[in-house]
Every structure is written in structure tokens, then in C-alpha cells.
């Protein structure tokens, strides 16, 4: 009998598998396609904190996660030799109204108190016109120093290297039976603990959160990568009204992301992405000449409360679930505690 079977090799499944192996559990990871075939391969890789006002336990947990992540990633890089490109580059929010300016000005003191000297929040009267078009930021910009980026694909690749031959691809979960998982190939794996880490697909195995409300659902997102032909690696990322402009290495910038509740094809891109690109170009002049080198789409696991869904299955003995994270899975995954799965 297998000790632990983790199903799904996204950031959640791989993180848990690595932690369980380090706790000397015998782990097998079953993945339908390849490591990072799902939402975890986002080209954005944004690690953004919640706003520092109205502090609450959820914001505190995310703050702690963001602060502890660099050391965790450094250890993973050291172990595997993969470069994950963590960078605390800050996030610029263009301010388009006097009210917005006033709201962000009030948050400066909240950031001082709640971010405890880890990073600051400041207001710029005028953002660099080469990076943010003046007409897109008539009231300047807020600069959030706690925001960072990571190469999500490198992060997944490092985790996959860390778990080594525990990862088995080409295994698509068909159904769960008491104490066992049955795959589309007909293979049946009996395990003491089965962890469902199949991203948005995991919600189908969970009972409703409340009457009529599913435990969670998939929310599709589309993003693109542009080659801009100039050095942008030192720039802060930009966030405005759902649109991210995220500098990467090698003169590339990622742009995203759309949010679709209703969709037919998980990984198809369409006109919504082109609209998002137009919005990004209107904010960031550096994108004007940029050529799109990748268009990408996937489905975010969005639990009913937008948080993490991690723990024992409410009705299936020996089964645990690890998904959720919605738009912040990359910032939170390393905080998963395998103890909560049993």
C-alpha cells in the first residue's frame, strides 16, 4: 500500500509532496499532464500584499507568508540549483482621482504600523512618464514596497526537481473509492492518505460550502508576455483596476489577467486578452512597440471564501484536499502545513 498519494503537481501538490517527503513519508505524486500544467505556470508571478488598512487575521497571515517566502525560496534554490528570480520590486498603483489619492495617503500610516518596518508605502506626485503615461496617473501613483515577483515556472520546476522520481505523469484521476484512487488508465492506487491537489478540479470532490453554494469553482484567467526590446528588469510592477504590467528578465513584460466566471475551454485565449493588452498599453508607454511572444490561459481555484481549502475531506476517510489560493497561491503555498491533512 502506498503511504501518501498526492494528486496534482501544481504549486500546492508539489509543495506538500516536498514537505511530506522531508517528514519521511513515502510520497507518490500522480499528475495528469506535467508539473505546472495548470494555473501555477502563470507568467505574472505577482506576490502582492493586501492593503495595509483594516488589518485582520487573513491579512496578517498573508503578510507573514510574504515575509517568510524569500528565505524559503533561497533554500529551495540552494537545494535544487534552479533560479526562481524572487525580487521585491514594488508595485505602482496609478491614481486617477482625488479620492483615490486621499485613500492611499491614509494607508501610508497603516503600512508603517502593520508592515512593521518590512517595507513602506509612499505616494509619488509624478510617476516616471516612460513607465506610466502621465494621463493614466493624473494624481500620481502609490508605491507599495512590499510587492514582489517570482518566476512561477522556475518555482514549479525547482519543486519538481526537489521531489525527483516521486512524480508520475500521465495519471488522470477518474474517481475516488474508499482508500483508493482510480485513474483513467484503469490503474488503482491504494494509499493511507490521498491528497487532492488538482487545482480548480478539486472542488468537484467536495460537498457544497452552504446550501446551493459550491465549495469553490474555477475562474479562468488569460495573460500574455511581450518582448519590449529594452531593459525593464529594475522596474516596479504596475497594477491598475485589474490590469497587471509585470517586468521580467530578458526585456520581457507580462500582462494580465482577465477573469471569466463562465467559459468553455480552459486554455483558449480570445478577444478579452487583447482588450487587457490594450488597457496595459494605455498605462505603460514602454509596451507600445512590444511584440506578444506568448498568450496563455488557465483556471484559478477560487474557493467560496477566496481563501485556501486545505485540510481533511469532510466525508471521505483518508482523503485530504489542498487547493484554493485563487489569485495568491504563489504567495501562500509554502505556508501549507502537512499536519493539517491528517
Ligand X SMILES: Cc1cc2nc3c(=O)[nH]c(=O)nc-3n(C[C@H](O)[C@H](O)[C@H](O)COP(=O)(O)OP(=O)(O)OC[C@H]3O[C@@H](n4cnc5c(N)ncnc54)[C@H](O)[C@@H]3O)c2cc1C
Rounded to 10 deg, the angle between the 11-22 and 152-163 helix axes is 30
Shortest Cβ 106–ligand X spacing (Å) = 26
For residue 254 the three cell numbers come to 507580462
- Residues in contact with 184: Cβ distance below 8 Å, sequence separation at least 6, in sequence order: 171, 172, 173, 174
Rank residues 103 and 179 by Cβ distance to ligand X and give the closer one: 179
Q: How far is the CB of 38 from ligand X (least distance, A)?
A: 2
Nearest to ligand X of 33, 116 (CB atom): 33
Residue numbers of the site for ligand X (CB under 6 A)? 7-13, 30-33, 37-40, 42, 44-46, 172-173, 197-199, 201, 221-223, 256-257, 298, 300-301, 323, 325-331
Closest distance to ligand X from the beta carbon of 86 (Å): 12
Give the shortest CB-224-to-ligand X separation in angstroms: 10
Q: Closer to ligand X by CB, 93 or 101: give it.
A: 93
CB of 97 to ligand X, least distance (A): 26
The pair phi, psi for residue 109, each rounded to 5°, is -70, -40
247 or 301: CB nearest ligand X: 301
Residue number, 246 or 286, with CB nearest to ligand X: 246
Amino acid at each position: 500500500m502506498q503511504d501518501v498519494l498526492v494528486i496534482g503537481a501544481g504549486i500546492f501538490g508539489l509543495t506538500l509532496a516536498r514537505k511530506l517527503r522531508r517528514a519521511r513519508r513515502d510520497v507518490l505524486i500522480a499528475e495528469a499532464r506535467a508539473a505546472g500544467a495548470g494555473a501555477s505556470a502563470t507568467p505574472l508571478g505577482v506576490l502582492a500584499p493586501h492593503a495595509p488598512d483594516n488589518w485582520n487575521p487573513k491579512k496578517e497571515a498573508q503578510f507573514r507568508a510574504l515575509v517568510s517566502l524569500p528565505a524559503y525560496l533561497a533554500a529551495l534554490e540552494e537545494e535544487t540549483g534552479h533560479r526562481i528570480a524572487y525580487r521585491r520590486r514594488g508595485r505602482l498603483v496609478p491614481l486617477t482621482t482625488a479620492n483615490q489619492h486621499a485613500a492611499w495617503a491614509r494607508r501610508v500610516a497603516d503600512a508603517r504600523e502593520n508592515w512593521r518596518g518590512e517595507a513602506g508605502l509612499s505616494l509619488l506626485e509624478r510617476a516616471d512618464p516612460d513607465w506610466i503615461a502621465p494621463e493614466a496617473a493624473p494624481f500620481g501613483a502609490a508605491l507599495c514596497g512590499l510587492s514582489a515577483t517570482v518566476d512561477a515556472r522556475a518555482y514549479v520546476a525547482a519543486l519538481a526537481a526537489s521531489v525527483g522520481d516521486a512524480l508520475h505523469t500521465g495519471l488522470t484521476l477518474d474517481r475516488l473509492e474508499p482508500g483508493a484512487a482510480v485513474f483513467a488508465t484503469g490503474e488503482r492506487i491504494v494509499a493511507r492518505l490521498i491528497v487532492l491537489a488538482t487545482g480548480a478540479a478539486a472542488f468537484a470532490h467536495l460537498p457544497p460550502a452552504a446550501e446551493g453554494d459550491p465549495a469553490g469553482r474555477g475562474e479562468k484567467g488569460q495573460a500574455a508576455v511581450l518582448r519590449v526590446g529594452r531593459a525593464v528588469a529594475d522596474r516596479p510592477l504596475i497594477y491598475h483596476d485589474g490590469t497587471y504590467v509585470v517586468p521580467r528578465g530578458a526585456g520581457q513584460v507580462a500582462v494580465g489577467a482577465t477573469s471569466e466566471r463562465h467559459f468553455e475551454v480552459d486554455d483558449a485565449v480570445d478577444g478579452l486578452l487583447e482588450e487587457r493588452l490594450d488597457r496595459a498599453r494605455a498605462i505603460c508607454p514602454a509596451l507600445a512597440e512590444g511584440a506578444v511572444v506568448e498568450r496563455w490561459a488557465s483556471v484559478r481555484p477560487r474557493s467560496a471564501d477566496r481563501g485556501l481549502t486545505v485540510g481533511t475531506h469532510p466525508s471521505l476517510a483518508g482523503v485530504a484536499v489542498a487547493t484554493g489560493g485563487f489569485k495568491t497561491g504563489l504567495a501562500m503555498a509554502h505556508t501549507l502545513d502537512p499536519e493539517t491533512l491528517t
